[in-house]
Amino acid sequence: MTIKLVYILPPRPLDDAGIRLGGFISDINGKSGQILVNGLIEGKPLCDLIKMVDPRLKADRSELMASMDETLTPSHLYILRNIKSHIEFLEKQLAELETLIIETIKPWNEALELLQTIPSTSVISAACLIGEIGDDMSCFDGMKGISSWAGLCPGNNESAGKRKSGRMRKGNKMVKTLLCEVANAAVKTKSQFKGKYQGLVIR
């Protein structure tokens, strides 16, 4: 007869322990969120942790302390440490992959630098775009051609003053995702793209 030990571990160790950081910090993966979570794992006093958070954090400090004033059991700590270790492992792999991408794209360094002059275009975004489309734009017949190829040209189906479906067609998913991410970031800058976006939103 074989006896199996079954451990029922909480899927969300902080919430399960009664620690509700999500109610005070919008991004638990941000700087302040990680300081608090790591401090709880290491068993640091709450009064010391509160002093370490970003001064710009709007949450009331006394309420924030009260939200963390719960005991983390050995099971909670075990899960949190494993999650932390796995995140660190993934971050290391991601950093290595980004380094490899940048090294691979060196022959196209001129195009890489030019793409980065566009607001909110990071080196990785630029490198991935070059990896998908190269640096020869002649095969796309201008910016309209590449926008259509990426599936970023919505239709304009209008008749007798009534606008019908204008859904975008399927295109290159990677290019579409990259361009959308860059555009969403660019409209938050003080560049010309912010004004362009605000003008389009009105319509």
pLDDT beyond 80 at 91? yes
Percent of all residues in the chain with a pLDDT value above 70, rounded to a whole number? 86
Q: For residues 183 and 197, what is the distance between their CA atoms, to the nearest angstrom?
A: 9
pLDDT beyond 50 at 3? no
Q: Please tell me the predicted confidence (pLDDT) of residue 113.
A: 92
The structural domains of the chain, with segments of one domain joined by +, span 13-90, 105-156+167-202
Give the DSSP H or E segment for 61.
Answer: helix 61-68
Q: What is the pLDDT of residues 134-176, one digit of tens each?
A: 888 888 777 778 888 888 776 555 555 566 555 666 777 888 8
pLDDT beyond 50 at 96? yes
CB 62 within 8 A of CB 84: no
pLDDT beyond 60 at 13? yes
By CB atoms closer than 10 A (0-12, 13-18, 19+), residue 25 is buried
Q: Please tell me the predicted confidence (pLDDT) of residue 79.
A: 87
Q: Please tell me the predicted confidence (pLDDT) of residue 197.
A: 84
Q: How would DSSP label each residue in 67-121?
A: HH-SPPPHHHHHHHHHHHHHHHHHHHHHHHHHHHHHHHTGGGHHHHHHHTTSTT-
Q: For residues 203 and 201, what is the distance between their CA atoms, to the nearest angstrom?
A: 5
Q: Please tell me the predicted confidence (pLDDT) of residue 137.
A: 81
Q: What is the pLDDT of residues 37-83, one digit of tens each?
A: 888 888 888 888 888 888 888 888 888 888 888 888 888 888 889 98
Band of pLDDT at residue 24, cut at 50, 70 and 90: confident
Band of pLDDT at residue 9, cut at 50, 70 and 90: very low
Distances from the Cα of 197 to the Cα of 94, 167, 193, 194, angstroms? 32, 19, 6, 5
For the residues 96-102, what does the mean pLDDT come to?
91
> Structure pTM?
0.66
